[in-house]
Each structure stands twice: as C-alpha cells, then as structure tokens.
C-alpha cells in the first residue's frame, strides 16, 4: 500500500490510511464460521482483497489533512457515485490517543455518517455484508465503514463527526 501511494504521487500514507485502504477493499466471507453480519469475531470486516484495493475505482482520500480538534467539530465531503457497477464503500480509520490500561481503552470517538440520495447510513451498522439504515453510532472502534452494493447511484455526502475528542 505504501509503495502504491508513492508510485501514484500520494505521499506516504499514515498507518490509519493503510488500515482504511485495506479494509475498504475487503471481501465478505461465507462458509463455516463466517456468513454472518460484518464486524464479527469470525471474520472481522472480511478477507483482505488486494485486487479490489488496487482496482482503479475512483476514490476520495483524506489522510491527516482535516483536523477535528474539539468535540463537535465535523468534516464533510460530497460527490456523485462514479461507477455504479462497483460497490460504494466508505471507510474511516484513525490512530487513537493512548487510553487507560483498565476498562475502556478508547479515548476519542469519531462517527461516520454517509448519506446517499437522502438516505443516512451510520458507520458499522450492517446486516450481513451490507450497511443498513437506522442503528446507533459506534462509540468504541477507531475503524468505521459503510458498504453499499453495486448499483448504488446518485449523490453522496460523507460526514465525520468529532462526537468526543478527548485526547
């Protein structure tokens, strides 16, 4: 991933960008002990798929250029689905500040919200391999994704909310 970024004049990616890039291209697994809803103990977010990670699909990348320095800050980017023959996927990852050694180790809470044609999807709210509407924001993970199937079309906006920026 690092070399691909360098070869494409995108600079050196942060560890969080590498994580988001690989997760964004993951393949949903089926079969024994899989075939469940994403974010499971059996498959995590799926199987890393380098073919999908480097498939040439247009991507918007934001790597450490937008700072959510305080609780309540937001960042939004918008566009139009470029290729309806491919899944539409959004992944947010960040490197969290060191947390306590007992209890909950997370410090910051960023929340991913993706709106496609007026329909809101929250990060990490899935049924099987696909994001669904409703649900509640994920307060624990420093990786959130929205996966919509091929055929998704129209306008989209992605908002990252600094729900709790404590460190």
Q: Which tops the pLDDT comparison, 74 or 58?
A: 74
Rounded to two decimals, the pTM is 0.93
Whether 150 contacts 86, CB under 8 Å:
yes
Nearest to 128 by CA among 150, 144, 148: 148
pLDDT value of position 58:
82
Q: What is the pLDDT of residues 110-152, one digit of tens each?
A: 999 999 999 999 999 999 999 999 999 999 999 999 999 999 9
Q: Which tops the pLDDT comparison, 167 or 88?
A: 88
Q: Is 6 helix (H, G, I), strand (E, B) or coil?
A: helix
Is residue 22 predicted with pLDDT exceeding 90?
Answer: yes
Record the tokens describing residue 113, joined without a space: 């919200």
What pairs with residue 161 in β-bridges? 74, 111
Q: Is 5 helix (H, G, I), strand (E, B) or coil?
A: helix
Q: What's the CA gap between 110 and 160, in Å, rounded?
A: 6
């Amino acid at each position: 991933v690092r070399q691909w970024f360098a070869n494409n004049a995108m600079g050196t990616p942060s560890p969080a960008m590498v994580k988001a890039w690989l997760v964004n291209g993951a393949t949903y697994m089926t079969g024994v002990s899989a075939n469940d809803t994403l974010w499971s103990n059996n498959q995590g977010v799926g199987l890393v798929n380098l073919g999908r990670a480097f498939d040439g699909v247009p991507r918007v990348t934001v790597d450490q250029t937008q700072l959510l320095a305080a609780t309540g800050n937001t960042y939004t980017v918008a566009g139009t689905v470029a290729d309806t023959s491919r899944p539409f996927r959004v992944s947010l990852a960040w490197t969290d500040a060191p947390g306590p050694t007992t209890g909950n180790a997370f410090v910051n809470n960023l929340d991913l919200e993706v709106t496609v044609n007026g329909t809101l999807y929250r990060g990490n709210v899935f049924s099987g391999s696909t994001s669904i509407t409703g649900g509640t924001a994920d307060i624990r993970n420093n990786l959130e994704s929205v996966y919509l199937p091929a055929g998704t079309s129209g306008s989209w906006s992605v908002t990252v909310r600094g729900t709790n920026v404590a460190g």
